[in-house]
Amino acid sequence: MKEDLVNILASIVGEENVKSDIIDRYCYSMDASIYKSIPDVVVFPQTTDQVVEIMKLANTNEIPVTPRGAATGLCGGAVPIEGGIVVDLTQMNKILEIDLDNFCVRVEPGVIQLQLNQELKKQGFFFPPTPGSKKMCTIGGMISTNAGGMTAVKYGVTRNFVLGLKVVLASGEVLSLGGKTLKRSLGLDLTQLFIGSEGTLGIITEALLRIIPLPEETAVIVAPFEDINEAAKAVNSVLNHTIPTAIEIMDRGIIKAVNAYVPELNLPEVDALLYFEIGGTPEEVKKQTELIVETCKKHKSNNVQWTSDPSEKQMLWQGREAAGGAIMNLDKRLVRVYEAEDVCVPISKVPEMVKRFQEISKKYGVPVGLYGHAGDGNIHSGVLIDVRNPEEWQKLKKLTGEVYETAMSLGGNISAEHGIGVLRAGWMDRILGEGLHYVKKIKKVFDPKGILNPGKLGI
Ligand SMILES: Cc1cc2nc3c(=O)[nH]c(=O)nc-3n(C[C@H](O)[C@H](O)[C@H](O)COP(=O)(O)OP(=O)(O)OC[C@H]3O[C@@H](n4cnc5c(N)ncnc54)[C@H](O)[C@@H]3O)c2cc1C
């Protein structure tokens, strides 16, 4: 990038908030996915006005701009595939307002999920969407990917908690969308359009989020099943009576990996292990616990464990929490690659999806551990390959294709919460069909020169 443009950027955000040497730029070339591409410059705006000036400069000079939160994304969304400017929003990290009279908070995009919930906890409230990356991921990143997590079964995903947004468009124009009312019937909803748009339509510089009171008490129930079909029946039966905060599942492969990673957990190596979390008043928790324990037993689960004691709860959750980190233990010579890692199927199809994924893994000789959110049909996978071997990448590509086609044939989709980014951009035609044509038209309306996060979402 021309030096005079870097100088103009420095005059907008301050010299200390621009990084243009190669080592710094390399650090901003990646997220948690397999992709890497070095930007020409990285800027750290502090205000919406600065983002406006950055966008005006970029638009006039047709420079690609990639918004970036904490870069925990798993599909290359924050990777500057075409170079240009990375706009890192992590320094816009203030909680601007906590409005308990209207059950909402106004935050800057760089606020971290856990930071927000630690503040809200002091007031007895919380912001429910909880990705596994909650200690790192930003609200801006969560909104832009419509992040989910374990609590989605009861509360929904990020989309369900966004009341309003401030967005800077490619031209530098600022849109203030939504407001503090809980309901609105005002025609097309632009706030919702920006949620999940992965930085391709505008840069979010402020968000108004709905919050709710913390449950008085919570409990955890863990139930092993020799047959995954019985586990699925138990989930269905529970959901017929109550909606737990979380219903998580681990398959045999991932249980083995967790046992190798944390041997003292000594999890039962069964077809499926279910984790339930429930919350409410102590009476409600007691009643729900009884219902879930009885239901699991009825579906042939022996050795069901449950507790509402805080330190015991932590112990019980350890197995599920270790799942992501444990995957490498399936075969330590191989490397985990984030591919086919986020399919979603109607919840009744979870056992079939798990079984078919296991078969596909066997067919290609690619080890896999499966875990995820049984309560909403979202199955995560950890697939392992020898990344030095090009043939392994070919196998992985075929495996991914079969997994996606299987999910779609079961009435599901290829990403529940991680998003599209670069990783799945090539699938958008297949997923949206005719719809992609209209999505491309929407992109043109907001970003006619195509400078915002090019190469993402298949647009
Ligand atoms: C260990 C681990 C566990 C995870 N668990 C979950 C999980 O349970 N559920 C889940 O949903 N995801 C999960 N993720 C994925 C990831 O954490 C989420 O997608 C998260 O929302 C990304 O936030 P981020 O701040 O890191 O965004 P980034 O990765 O920096 O960016 C993600 C996308 O948002 C865009 N973007 C970021 N900020 C803005 C902004 N202010 N304006 C416009 N666009 C913006 C970027 O351009 C990019 O396209 C996990 C990731 C890891 C590494």
Task: Give me the DSSP letters along 106-136.
Answer: EE-TT-BHHHHHHHHHTTTEE-----TTTTT
Q: Are strands 85-88 and 41-43 parallel, antiparallel or unpaired?
A: parallel
Q: Which helix (H) or strand (E) holds 416?
A: none
User: Is the Cβ–Cβ distance between 276 and 238 less than 8 Å?
Assistant: yes
Instruction: Decide if pLDDT at 206 tops 90.
Output: yes
Give the tens place of pLDDT for each residue, 11-47.
Answer: 999 999 999 999 999 999 999 999 999 999 999 999 9
CB distance 58 to ligand 1 below 6 Å? no
- Atom index in ligand 1 nearest the CA of residue 157 equals 11
Give the tens place of pLDDT for each residue, 126-140.
Answer: 999 999 999 999 999
Instruction: Decide if pLDDT at 3 tops 90.
Output: no
Q: What is the pLDDT of residue 148?
A: 97
User: Is the Cβ–Cβ distance between 333 and 385 less than 8 Å?
Assistant: no
CB distance 166 to ligand 1 below 6 Å? no
CB distance 68 to ligand 1 below 6 Å? yes
Q: What is the pLDDT of residue 129?
A: 98
Which amino acid residue places its CA nearest to atom 16 of ligand 1? 73
Q: Which CATH number fits domain 3-88: 3.40.395.10, 3.30.43.10, 3.40.50.300, 3.40.50.1100?
A: 3.30.43.10
Give the tens place of pLDDT for each residue, 389-426.
Answer: 999 999 999 999 999 999 999 999 999 999 999 999 99
Instruction: Decide if pLDDT at 362 tops 90.
Output: yes
For residues 356-373, average pLDDT: 95
Q: What is the pLDDT of residue 2?
A: 81
Q: Please tell me if the domain spanning 3-88 has the same topology as the one spanning 218-423.
A: no
Tokens of 261: 């990673």
Instruction: Decide if pLDDT at 76 tops 80.
Output: yes
For residues 187-203, average pLDDT: 98
Give the tens place of pLDDT for each residue, 240-291.
Answer: 999 999 999 999 999 999 999 999 999 999 999 999 999 999 999 999 999 9
- Atom index in ligand 1 nearest the CA of residue 147 equals 11
Q: Are strands 65-68 and 18-19 parallel, antiparallel or unpaired?
A: unpaired
Q: What is the pLDDT of residue 1?
A: 76
Running DSSP on this structure, what letter comes out for residue 5? H
Instruction: Decide if pLDDT at 197 tops 80.
Output: yes
Give the tens place of pLDDT for each residue, 287-334.
Answer: 999 999 999 999 999 999 999 998 999 999 999 999 989 999 989 899
Average pLDDT along the chain: 96
Rounded to the nearest whole angstrom, what is the distance from the C-alpha of residue 387 to the centroid of ligand 1? 24
pTM of the model: 0.97
Q: What is the CATH number of domain 218-423?
A: 3.40.462.10
| CA separation for the pair 158, 390 (Å, rounded) | 37
Instruction: Decide if pLDDT at 374 tops 90.
Output: yes
Instruction: Name the residue ranges covered by the structural domains of the chain.
Output: 3-88, 95-213, 218-423
pLDDT level of residue 368 (50, 70, 90 thresholds) = very high
Rounded to the nearest whole angstrom, what is the distance from the C-alpha of residue 135 to the centroid of ligand 1? 12
CB distance 211 to ligand 1 below 6 Å? no
Fold assignment, 95-213: 3.30.465
User: Is the Cβ–Cβ distance between 47 and 69 less than 8 Å?
Assistant: no
Instruction: Decide if pLDDT at 72 tops 90.
Output: yes
Rounded to the nearest whole angstrom, what is the distance from the C-alpha of residue 209 to the centroid of ligand 1? 17
